[in-house]
């Protein structure tokens, strides 16, 4: 069971004339000259906040421009003392502990989490489970991996089958936490920061018992102990302490992602765990792999402002997938984090929520909220037209949700079945009237694009490429209706669309106005397609500079997009020059 599985189970060529310039911005922690003024609507009254003090050395990676407070509404959190511009890096820290998921162990460095070099990686000769970029990364990781290596060897030796996998990333990350805390000492700053993380042991829900029990038993087994009592040497005096550790891990763990937001494993950071949740966050946690001075600082975690943040405003990130409708978000938060969100999105009376909306049955251009039950009376908010087929819509939503759950589970088991499900279900929900941002249509569409991208034929075909582009376009439209322009997820989606549009067409249409209506208009062909790719990539770069940080140049994806834009500018210039040459060479009065 990987950490991502655990979560899902619980949360059911340079060009001088280029218009792309390198960003110039102050680094994190330095005051920014801006026109931001304090916005009272975003700031909780000071009377309800108490500044918290901690032992010297704790949370040292927090800049002086923020402080830890406790509020009557959100509890402990982090507030900014100065204006922060969108795209600014607020907090930079190294993960306290991190582990790759099993499927990523052979493909990524277990120390710095960099992808495998084309020349291959160095494999640990003892446990044969961990891989490293080079001897530097192996040395950097040895202080903790020497314990892990021994445990892995015992784990494999005790296994009844040679095909046994290592423990999950969750178990190995927990182990690394324990070993690092033991190495630092029980009275160390690091141990106190871990102990200060939120634990929900006293209010665990019955549905969480299985996960906590699995992690506790697996951890004890991986450490080579026979019972929890033997964990005293690790600073855990009782079974209650072990449950507390498990609860702190589950409640405060982050998914490590690659530059394109694909999950790689699990990580823990007591500093970033201080930040509270909102379904309308003003910041995001990323792993940019762009600013570390050395490999020893990876995996580096950053908190990036995805919109302007005002002085005395709380810094908030999202713990869950905010593309989900309110009821599913609340259920996920209750299940894993044991609280009810009261953010502006969850308490908004705006109707309809684009996450749960359908087109007007009379096609007036308005929207209708999705029905909640058979007795729901649904009308268009623009023309007041009544939705008559409530039962049919409820059936479509039920089938769509069941299909999404099944296709998600099958994507790594039965690829063909998974893509068959998404292909069949999306037209049903679209015909029922759901808009691109509505659940579960958006989830199916995003999964469908992922499946299409993973199954690109070699060489690619025009039909496959165009279908992927159309799906990506719908996803951008759907995500754009519910996510802020600076959100990393939206930025990556726009970047992926731009990359697809920039792919050389295998069989460009000689006449774009000939063909089925669905293909006649979009995507375009030839130079219009090239121009659209350029415009889309420009938009993506602007978003990436916010979502992944100006100082990071938009992260690795942002840097790659910049290079693509430069190349497209050159290609478009060559194309335009060729057209001019043809026109100039054509005799006047003669048509070609």
How many angstroms separate the CA atoms of 88 and 546, rounded? 7
- Burial environment of residue 120 by CB neighbours within 10 A (0 to 12, 13 to 18, 19 or more): exposed
Q: Over the stretch 496-506, which tens digit does the pLDDT of each residue have? A: 999 999 999 99
Contact 101, 265 (CB under 8 A): yes
Lowest mean pLDDT among 15-29, 53-67, 364-378: 15-29
Minimal CA–CA distance to 199: which of 23, 12, 338, 34?
A: 338
How many angstroms separate the CA atoms of 287 and 266, rounded? 12
DSSP 405-472: HHHHHHTTT-HHHHHHHHHHHHHHHHHTTB-TTSTTHHHHHHHHHHHHHHT--SS--HHHHHHHHHHH
The pair of three-digit structure tokens given for residue 294, joined into one six-digit string:
């050395």
Q: State the chain's mean pLDDT as an integer.
A: 87
Most confident of 96-100, 163-167, 191-195: 96-100
Residue 356 has pLDDT above 90, yes or no: yes
pLDDT score of 203: 80
The more confidently predicted of residues 543 and 412 is: 543
Q: Over the stretch 314-333, which tens digit does the pLDDT of each residue have? A: 999 999 999 999 999 999 99
Lowest mean pLDDT among 208-212, 425-429, 512-516: 512-516
Residue written as token pair 């975690």: 301
Band (432; pLDDT cuts 50, 70, 90)? very high
Residue 162 has pLDDT above 80, yes or no: no
Residue written as token pair 């190294």: 94
How many angstroms separate the CA atoms of 259 and 254, rounded? 15
The pair of three-digit structure tokens given for residue 450, joined into one six-digit string:
């992922």
Q: What letter does residue 322 receive in the DSSP assignment?
A: T
Residue written as token pair 């908004």: 348
For residue 571, count other CB atoms closer than 10 A to its CB.
17
The more confidently predicted of residues 261 and 39 is: 261
How many angstroms separate the CA atoms of 437 and 429, rounded? 12
Strand partners, 79: 67, 314
Cβ partners under 8 Å of residue 187, min gap 6: none
DSSP 66-95: EEEEEETTTEEEEEESS-B-TT-EEEEEE-
pLDDT score of 238: 85
The pair of three-digit structure tokens given for residue 109, joined into one six-digit string:
């460095």
Residue 45 has pLDDT above 80, yes or no: no
For residue 369, count other CB atoms closer than 10 A to its CB.
17
Share of the chain above pLDDT 70, in %: 86
Minimal CA–CA distance to 2: which of 412, 369, 440?
A: 412
Contact 184, 191 (CB under 8 A): yes
pTM comes to 0.88
Residue 183 has pLDDT above 50, yes or no: yes
Residue 481 has pLDDT above 80, yes or no: yes
CA 98 centroid distance within chain: 17
Band (105; pLDDT cuts 50, 70, 90)? very high
The more confidently predicted of residues 270 and 574 is: 270
Minimal CA–CA distance to 322: which of 542, 543, 92, 478?
A: 478
pLDDT score of 375: 79
pLDDT score of 228: 65
Minimal CA–CA distance to 523: which of 472, 460, 449, 480?
A: 472
Minimal CA–CA distance to 286: which of 318, 248, 311?
A: 318
- Burial environment of residue 294 by CB neighbours within 10 A (0 to 12, 13 to 18, 19 or more): exposed
For residue 229, count other CB atoms closer than 10 A to its CB.
13
Element (H, E) at 122: strand 122-123
Coil, strand or helix at 43: coil
- Average confidence (pLDDT) over 151-155: 95
Query: What does the buried/exposed string (b/e) look like for 196-214 if buried means 16 or more CB atoms within 10 Å of the residue's CB?
Result: bbebbbeebeeebeebbeb
Band (2; pLDDT cuts 50, 70, 90)? low
Residue 64 has pLDDT above 50, yes or no: yes
């Amino acid at each position: 069971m990987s950490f991502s599985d655990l979560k899902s189970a619980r949360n059911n060529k340079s060009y001088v004339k280029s218009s792309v310039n390198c960003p110039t911005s102050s680094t994190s922690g330095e005051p920014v000259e801006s026109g931001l003024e304090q916005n009272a609507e975003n700031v909780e009254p000071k009377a309800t906040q108490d500044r918290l003090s901690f032992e010297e050395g704790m949370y040292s990676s927090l800049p002086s421009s923020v402080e830890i407070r406790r509020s009557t509404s959100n509890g402990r959190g982090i507030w900014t003392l100065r204006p922060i511009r969108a795209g600014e890096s607020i907090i930079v820290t190294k993960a306290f502990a991190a582990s790759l998921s099993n499927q990523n162990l052979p493909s990524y460095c277990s120390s710095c989490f960099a992808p495998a070099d084309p020349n291959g990686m160095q494999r640990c000769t003892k446990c044969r489970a961990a891989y490293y970029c080079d001897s530097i990364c192996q040395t950097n990781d040895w202080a903790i991996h020497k314990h892990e290596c021994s445990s892995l060897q015992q784990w494999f030796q005790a296994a009844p089958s040679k095909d046994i996998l290592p423990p999950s990333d969750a178990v190995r990350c927990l182990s690394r936490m324990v070993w690092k805390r033991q190495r630092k000492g029980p009275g160390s700053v690091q141990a106190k920061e871990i102990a200060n993380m939120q634990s929900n042991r006293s209010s665990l829900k019955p549905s969480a018992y299985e996960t906590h029990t699995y992690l506790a038993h697996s951890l004890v087994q991986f450490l080579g102990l026979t019972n929890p009592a033997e964990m005293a040497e690790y600073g855990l005096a009782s079974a209650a302490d072990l449950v507390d550790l498990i609860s702190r891990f589950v409640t405060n763990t982050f998914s490590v992602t690659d530059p394109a937001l694909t999950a790689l494993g699990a990580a823990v950071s007591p500093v970033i765990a201080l930040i509270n949740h909102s379904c309308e966050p003003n910041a995001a946690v990323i792993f940019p792999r762009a600013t570390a001075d050395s490999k020893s600082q990876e995996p580096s975690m950053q908190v990036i402002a995805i919109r302007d943040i005002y002085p005395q405003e709380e810094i908030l990130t999202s713990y869950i997938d905010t593309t989900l409708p309110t009821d599913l978000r609340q259920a996920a938060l209750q299940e894993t984090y044991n609280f009810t969100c009261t953010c502006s999105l969850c308490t908004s009376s705006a109707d309809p929520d684009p996450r749960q909306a359908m087109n007007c049955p009379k096609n007036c251009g308005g929207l209708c909220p999705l029905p909640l039950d058979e007795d729901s009376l649904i009308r268009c908010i623009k023309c007041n037209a009544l939705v008559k087929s409530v039962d049919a819509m409820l059936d479509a939503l039920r089938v769509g949700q069941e299909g999404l759950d099944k296709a998600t589970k099958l994507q790594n088991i039965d690829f063909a079945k998974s893509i068959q499900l998404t292909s069949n279900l999306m037209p049903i929900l679209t015909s029922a009237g759901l808009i691109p941002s509505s659940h579960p249509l958006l989830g199916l569409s995003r999964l469908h694009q992922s499946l299409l991208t993973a199954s690109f034929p070699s060489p690619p075909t025009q039909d496959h490429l165009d279908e992927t582009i159309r799906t990506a376009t719908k996803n951008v439209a759907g995500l754009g209706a519910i996510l802020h322009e600076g959100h990393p997820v939206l930025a990556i989606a726009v970047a992926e669309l731009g990359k697809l549009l920039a792919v050389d067409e295998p069989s460009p249409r000689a006449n774009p106005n000939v063909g089925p209506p669905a293909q006649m208009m979009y995507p375009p062909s030839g130079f219009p397609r090239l121009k659209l790719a350029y415009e889309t990539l420009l938009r993506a770069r602007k978003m990436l500079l916010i979502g992944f940080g100006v100082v990071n140049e938009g992260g690795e994806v942002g840097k790659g997009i910049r290079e693509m834009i430069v190349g497209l500018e050159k290609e478009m210039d060559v194309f335009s020059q060729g057209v001019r040459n043809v026109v100039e060479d054509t005799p006047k009065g003669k048509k070609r």
